[in-house]
Every structure is written in structure tokens, then in C-alpha cells.
Amino acid sequence: MHNEWINYFDITGAAGAQLIGLLFVVVTLGTRLSTSQSVDGIRAFLTPTLIYFGSVLFQAMVVLVPLPSAWPIGLVLISVGLAGLAYVVNAIRLKRRLNFVELKRLDWIPYAGLPMLANASLIAGGVGLIAKQAFAPFAIAGASALLLVAGIYGAWDLTLWIIADRSKT
């Protein structure tokens, strides 16, 4: 990875790690949720948000490894992107099965669209690294930014849901 990108991935990796910590604070706030709703809600909303933040942290760790060749980094990023696409499809399926949350049409953009686009961009960035293309760092950086935005939206939505659920009791 080019030296010009070190600061960017330092910042996004640190942001991903810090947001994971804050997510645990949100979870602590929601400990009074009913058991049936909390298990399904965690799988559908909390876990994907954690995965997105964790993916940003992992991407930063991978691209900052000082390897003599971009091949291993590219292969890891392609693998992470493919796994991420499969995970997003599963997360969409889980969200659709929930009977206590109805998502609006625009909610699907950060819940499905951004993560799909981010993982596709990560795959393109990995391929670009292997092929030594100039766009590769931009694609990887875009993937990190999109996953951070999707994760922040998910964390915010989860926080609002917890507050609304607490006010009912």
C-alpha cells in the first residue's frame, strides 16, 4: 500500500475500533429488552453493525502490513469482500423475517445497499492491488468509508430503537 494512504487507514481503523467499543455501551443500555425480541434483533441489527466496524478495523490492519508484495493483501481483501457480500445477503434475510420492526424503503440503503457496494468495492480494490492498478487504494478506502457509514447508521437506529423500547416500560 502506498505511504500516502497510511494516515487514512490509521484513522479508519481507529474509528472502527472505537465504534466497536461504543457499540458495547449501546448494548449495555438495551439489557432490559425482552428475550424473544432481543435475540432476533441482535442477529438482524447489532451483529451486522459490529461486523461492519470490525471489517473496517480488519481492512486497516491488512493494508498496513508492510509486505513486499501486494498479492497477499489483495487476496485477503478479495476474500473479505466475498465473505462480506454473503454476510449482507444473510443479514437482509434476517431483517425481513422480523415481525416487530418494519423498515422503510430508504432504510434499505444503509442496511443493504451501502454494505453491498462496500464489499464489491473491496473486491475491486483487492483485484486492483494484485493487478497493480492505481484505483486500488481508492476502492479500498471507499469500502472502509461506506462500511463506517452503514455501521454508524445501524448503531444510531439501534440506539433509537432501544430508547423507544425503554420508554414503553
Cell numbers representing residue 146 in the block: 461506506
C-alpha torsion sign, points 31, 36, 41, 46: positive
Q: How many CA atoms lie within 13 A of 110 on its CB side?
A: 19
Q: How many CA atoms lie within 13 A of 60 on its CB side?
A: 21
Of 7 and 103, the structure prediction assigns the larger pLDDT to 7
What confidence tier does 61 reach under pLDDT thresholds 50, 70, 90? very high
Confidence check: pLDDT of 83 > 90: yes
Distance CA 142, CA 9 (A): 11
Confidence check: pLDDT of 39 > 80: no
**Whole-number average pLDDT of the chain:** 87
| 36 C-beta neighbours (distance < 10 Å), count | 10
The pTM for the full model equals 0.88
Would you say 126 and 77 are in contact if contact means Cβ atoms under 8 Å apart?
yes
